[in-house]
Chains A and B, each alone.
Chain A
Amino acid sequence: MEALAGPRPADIPAVVKQLPHFQLDILMKFVYRGMAFPELYNSSVLLTWHEKVTEVTGLGSIVRVMSDRLTV
């Protein structure tokens, strides 16, 4: 989770672009897991990640987070 807070907001699109799709799904799972604990993790950074990943994958990745049995 600390790795998500590492890159600056400008670098996030570059990171998202070079990840394969199934890893983007896992990334979304981490984003949602992090948002479940707003007091521990910075939600605004997580929201930026979420936006950039949805630009690439669309709504499918959000649906996959909800329906997948393997949770993070």
Chain B
Amino acid sequence: MCLENFSSQVVERHNKPEIEAQTTKEALLTPVQISRNENEKVLVEPSINSIRISIKIKQADDLERILCATFTRFLMMRAENFVVLRRKAIKGYDISFLITNFHTEQMYKHKLVDFIIQFMEEVDKEISEMKLSINARARIVAESYLQQFS
């Protein structure tokens, strides 16, 4: 994660994350995709002053898809509190992080990496927890409702 400051070459006195602006092709490195299978992949797009990491979370069925979409939307709406979270995920992925050289200057790089790993682990845990609680609640509601017909 070697990011250095890089002022925009297109507009004077501007300093944009090159991976988002994509104005100068020399500042961009080759994007790298790591996939375990078709449903789980991570796209890492590096550039001279920023990195964009997009993750596709494994979703096995419709319920998990809805849960995942709602949960990630909840997180992304509060992206300001997470600092490195991107407000919109890249097309084809569920969640995206944007790390700029300013972040690496203020925070430890290995801690940023640890944060992302821990974040994703917690998201996975929360989604499976929510799925279990939904199923349990649905079962209780259905039972008590159908009781009156038995």
- Which A residues are within 8 Å of any B CB, using their own CB? 32, 35-36, 38-39, 43-44, 47, 62, 65-68, 71
* Residue B131 CB within 8 A of the other chain: no
List residues of chain A with CB within 8 A of the CB of B32.
32, 62, 65-66
Shortest B24–chain A CB gap in Å is 14
- Closest 8 A/B residue pairs (Cβ): A38-B35, A36-B33, A66-B29, A38-B38, A35-B35, A43-B35, A32-B32, A39-B38
Check if A67 sits within 8 Å of B36, measured CB to CB: no
Main secondary structure of the interface of B (DSSP, over half): strand
In the complex formed, the residue of B with least CB distance to A66 is B29
In the bound assembly, the distance between CA atoms of A47 and B36 in angstroms comes to: 8
How many chain B residues sit at the interface, stated as a range, is 10 to 19
Q: CB-CB < 8 A to B38: which residues of A?
A: 38-39
Restricting to B17-43, which residues have a CB under 8 Å from any CB of A? 29-30, 32-38, 41
Chain A residues, CB < 8 A from B44:
66
- Determine the distance from Cα of A38 to Cα of B37 in the docked complex, in whole angstroms: 6
Which of chain A's residues have a CB closer than 8 A to the CB of B36?
Answer: 38, 43-44, 47
Residue of A nearest to B38 (CB): A38
CA distance A62 to B41 in the complex (A): 17
> Across the interface, do A66 and B41 meet the contact criterion of CB distance under 8 Å?
no
Q: Name the A residues within 8 Å of B41 (CB-CB).
A: 35, 38
In the complex, the answer to whether B35 meets A66 with C-beta atoms within 8 Å is no
A-B contact list, 9 entries, CB within 8 Å? A32-B34, A35-B33, A35-B34, A36-B33, A43-B35, A62-B32, A65-B30, A66-B29, A68-B30
